[in-house]
Amino acid sequence: MHTKKIALGMSGGVDSSLCATLLKEQGYDVTGVFLECWRAPGCRVEEDRKDALAVALKIGIPFQVLDFKKEYKEKVVEYFFAEYKVGRTPNPDVMCNRDIKFGMFYRWAMEHGFDAVATGHYARIKGESRSSRSPRLLRGVDAKKDQSYFLYLLEENQLSHIIFPIGHLRKTEVRDLAAQRHLPVANKPDSQGICFIGDINVHNFLKERLGEKPGEVVNMRGEVIGEHKGLWFYTIGQRHGFMLKGKIRAHHDEWKHVIQPFYVVAKDAKHNRLIVGFGEETLSNTFEILHMHWIHPEDEKRFAVGNTENILIRIRHGGELISAHLEKSDDTMIVTLAKKTQGIAEGQSAVVYDKEVCLGGGVIC
């Protein structure tokens, strides 16, 4: 009987380390693979590599390192800077998954005789069902850690060769299981922020590469109320430092003084203007999606005839799932949310779900 060969992406963290143990316990022939993608001051790549190797040695699986630094810089890091420079909000984790983890690493594994790749993502893959003859990408059981949002660019034919061993677990369970198995990284803190920055402040990282470019801060009426130091330092929906003093009706004829915070509503890259607002001004329920990708082509046909029942949209990682209506329009999808929300950022990903199934997504434009 053929023992399934698995190439497991190991980051040196608790998630992928537990994956290695679980896969081996289930009888798979597992090889741990550390993807070296970035090396710079403040980056923990060497410590992470050593942690991954320590786990591999403890559980007795082969271990190797793949060097993707050049490709990662071209595909992820340069994209990150380019998007910020033109006023958009990038999503480097989506690009990393598409081009590196399930691009170069996936192809390497297939070319070297592995049956599947595995990662520590909090997502699930469900097999054939009545409605589909191929596997489906599902949200992870742990709603707070769910990473299906970052995986919407996977292809249908890849799902049969991908395993997410901890997608059915919650983070607390992962740590408990790792501790029970005495894994050396059981209590290692989760990585924070953007994957390739490490401990470096994002503001400083952008400033080092893009510098500063002062411009006007204007309110929704076009009135200049201040100055910003560079559009790339701000995110749509972010609370801005400016405050508006005013009065609101408390009840009946009584009024009270309040101080309202401004939030970033839009970036006018052409005129280098940061547009801010407060209250209802910051909310919207319509936008368009560019480069819409359907994991299963059959779903695109379904939407072509207007069947958008049960559709949910997520516009940022960890954001609320909101009921929505989708409508095809030339090269874009027009999205109408069931309620207004804040922080619809050009350049970010809008991911489409049917209940717990991830159907695909695109880029907010």
The residues annotated with a catalytic role in the active site are: 96, 195
Buried/exposed code over 330-342 (b: 16+ C-beta within 10 A; e: otherwise): eebbebebeeebe
Amino acid at 309: E
CA distance 352 to 32: 32
Packing angle between helix 171-180 and helix 14-25, nearest 10 degrees?
Answer: 60
Rounded to the nearest 10 degrees, the angle between the axes of helix 202-210 and helix 78-85 is 80
Count the residues in the chain. 365
